[in-house]
Amino acid sequence: MNYSEIIRMFSFNRFEEYKETAEWLLNQTAIRPVVAIICGSGLGGLADRLEESVTFKYEDIPRFPTSTVAGHAGKLVFGKLVGHDCVCMQGRFHLYEGYNIHMVSYPVRVFSQLGVKTLIVTNAAGGLNDRYSVGDIMIIKDHINMPGFAGQNPLCGPNDERFGVRFPCMSDAYDRELRVKLRSTAEAMGVTHFLQEGVYCMVAGPSFETIAECKLLQTLGADAVGMSTVPEVLMAHHCGLRVLGVSLITNKVITDYDSEEKANHEEVLRTTQKQTKLLQDLVCGFLSM
């Protein structure tokens, strides 16, 4: 990483920069996406279902960050998914990689410049709700932004009215109609026994949560916890995109001090490998309805 790249990690982005990235991408492909999908850890296989696909490595895209996490391929894939022009991120960006909050959410404003109207964001998350089982799929109805309490919000800094208002309302960040449609899709597929709906809590990571922290998050009303998603959702809602959020419950958090179990990233990836086809089928079925 050179000096100019380090400086960018700690600076705000301008409208012209998002536009430059979007125009470069539009010049490389005939696909005009109306749906963007952000794939979490181990969930990038959804992009393999795109037809007429064109793939770009993150490092080849002007001004785009690069992913450094195992399970994140670091590719942007354009193509058609069940008849819809889509763009799919195989891997996202996180605060714990060293990026600032504006770079973590950089792709979303690029998507808005591409003409995207709907963002589907997926993640791997730890289950805080005692009723959840490993392998469940949780529709996100709301979130708790723990980094936001410490001032880590992608909307901090100068506001550009071309994207959205200075003080966006977040009570409707996760589109109700899209949530209902996904539940109807699950019913039609006969997989509602895997489906939950709840509150996602974002922590900064990269360390997994302590037992005391997990108990605190449960008290706050969180059903699942992870290290991503919220910055992208904030940026998408600010841009006027409709948002559907989905968490794959890959592990149960540890809340017993006598437990010998330990949270680890390998367990997360193993669970996603088992359930990724179901989640892919659910997204495809959702888009085809």
pLDDT of residue 170: 96
Residue 183 buriedness (CB in 10 A; 0-12 / 13-18 / 19+): middle
Is 170 one of the catalytic residues?
A: no
Span 78-100, mean pLDDT? 93
pLDDT of residue 40: 81
Tokens of 156: 């901090």
Residue ranges per structural domain of the chain: 3-288
Is 94 one of the catalytic residues?
A: yes
Question: Is 196's pLDDT higher than 70?
Answer: yes
Span 239-264, mean pLDDT? 85
Catalytic residue among 36, 125, 186, 227: 227
Q: What is the pLDDT of residues 95-139, one digit of tens each?
A: 998 889 999 999 999 999 999 999 999 999 999 999 999 889 999
Contact indicator for 18, 109 with CB cutoff of 8 Å: yes
Catalytic residue among 124, 186, 202, 236: 124
Is 41 one of the catalytic residues?
A: yes
Catalytic residue among 189, 213, 263, 265: 265
Catalytic residue among 13, 112, 228, 247: 228
pLDDT of residue 91: 87
Span 35-58, mean pLDDT? 88
Question: Is 232's pLDDT higher than 80?
Answer: yes
Tokens of 216: 């605190």
What is the separation of C-alpha 144 from the centre of its chain, rounded to a whole number of angstroms?
14
Catalytic residue among 36, 72, 102, 224: 72
Span 139-161, mean pLDDT? 95
CATH class in words for 3-288: alpha beta
Is 228 one of the catalytic residues?
A: yes
Q: Which residues contact 253 (CB under 8 A, 6 or more apart)?
A: 126, 127, 128, 209, 214, 225, 263
Q: Rounded to whole angstroms, how far apart are CA atoms 286 and 288?
A: 6
Is 124 one of the catalytic residues?
A: yes
Catalytic residue among 100, 145, 153, 251: 251
Q: Between 271 and 154, whose confidence is greater?
A: 154
Q: Between 73 and 92, whose confidence is greater?
A: 92
Contact indicator for 228, 71 with CB cutoff of 8 Å: no
Q: What is the pLDDT of residues 253-283, one digit of tens each?
A: 888 787 667 666 676 666 667 788 888 899 9
Tokens of 239: 């841009």
pLDDT of residue 267: 64
Question: Is 66's pLDDT higher than 70?
Answer: yes
pLDDT of residue 7: 42
Catalytic residue among 89, 94, 222, 236: 94
Percent of the chain predicted with pLDDT > 70: 88
Q: Between 278 and 71, whose confidence is greater?
A: 278
Catalytic residue among 96, 184, 189, 213: 96
Is 227 one of the catalytic residues?
A: yes
pTM of the model: 0.90
pLDDT of residue 184: 96
pLDDT of residue 10: 43
Is 238 one of the catalytic residues?
A: no
Q: Between 6 and 60, whose confidence is greater?
A: 60
Q: What is the mean pLDDT of the chain?
A: 89
pLDDT of residue 71: 56
Contact indicator for 10, 101 with CB cutoff of 8 Å: no
Catalytic residue among 89, 97, 173, 236: 97
Span 40-54, mean pLDDT? 84
Is 189 one of the catalytic residues?
A: no
